[in-house]
Amino acid sequence: MSFKKNELVIVRDDKNKTYLQKLDSKGRFQSHVGIVHHKDMIGKEEGEVFLTSTNREVSVFYPTLNDFIHKMGRKTAIIHPKDIGIILFLADIKPGDRIVEAGTGSGALLLALSRYVGKKGHIYSYDNRSELQDVARKNLEKFYNKFPSNVTLKQQDISNVIDEDNLDAIVLDFSQPWEVIPEAVKSLRRGGSFSSYIPTIIQAERFVKELEATESFLDIEIVEVLLRPWQIKGYSVRPQHRMVGHTGFMVFARFKGSPNIKK
């Protein structure tokens, strides 16, 4: 498949540094390794190697979702891809799911959710901060080259009301997720997943205890993910000096029905 105008690509230099580019017939890639004109990339195949104006080699690929999330614009801290991966798995996100998420933030988790639910699923993303949803909208439009039809942005406070019902999952990036429990009980289908990404263990503890107190959830678990890259260069085989350590806690639960909510 050859590159086309307006598509996103990743340019990788000879030191393995990457650059996100949107191809334009009049545009150009420019860095300390030199210049390559976009018109020379358009029509070429993924993995093509180009010589820059300073005779340095760069290769060009389509960006992975991981590439894009690390390079995209943001106004807030994002959920790291290592955490997004475990959320997708433990919340059992699958094609066709109807999901509510909050808050939208810069859209990192939203991008992954929209990809996994596919065209037959739908994501309703709540955030009461319009300036953040504007960033998320731009990121989704940039990644997909248009705003995806399986995403609806909703500028409202999820702790007040969830408009949707019979949901397969609710996924929160929200500092006080326990405030959403009464609405989650009304909106989840039996067997649906309720999860939240939480910065501190104190918040996680409160969320878990309040989930337990409702007697409406089971399979409650809390995890964190640490990512340690390794280096293999010649005789040097060792962990890299820097690792992606603690970024947040994730709490997961399954809704069993028969709520016992004290309001």
Tens of pLDDT along 210-258?
999 999 999 999 999 999 999 998 999 999 888 888 899 999 999 998 6
pLDDT at 98: 98
Q: Which CATH class is domain 8-63?
A: alpha beta
List the structure tokens of 222: 């809390």
Phi, psi (degrees; rounded to nearest 5) at 99: -135, 140
**Which regions of the chain carry the CATH code 3.40.50.150?**
67-255
**Per-residue pLDDT at 24 exceeds 80:** yes
Alpha-carbon distance values, 138 to 107, 131, 244, 262 (Å)? 9, 11, 27, 40
pLDDT digits (tens, 9 = 90+) for 102-143: 999 999 999 999 999 999 999 999 999 999 999 999 999 999
Tokens of 4: 């086309």
Q: In the chain, helix, strand, coil percent, each to 5?
A: 25, 30, 40
Listed residue (250, 227, 239) closest to 66, CA to CA: 227
**H-helix or E-strand spanning residue 222:** strand 217-223
**Can you state the angle between helices 130-144 and 108-117, rounded to 10 degrees?**
50
User: Which string of b and e fits 237-255 if b means at least 16 CB within 10 Å?
Assistant: eeeeeeeeeebbbbbbbbb
Classify domain 67-255 by CATH number. 3.40.50.150
State the span(s) of the chain assigned CATH 3.10.330.20: 8-63
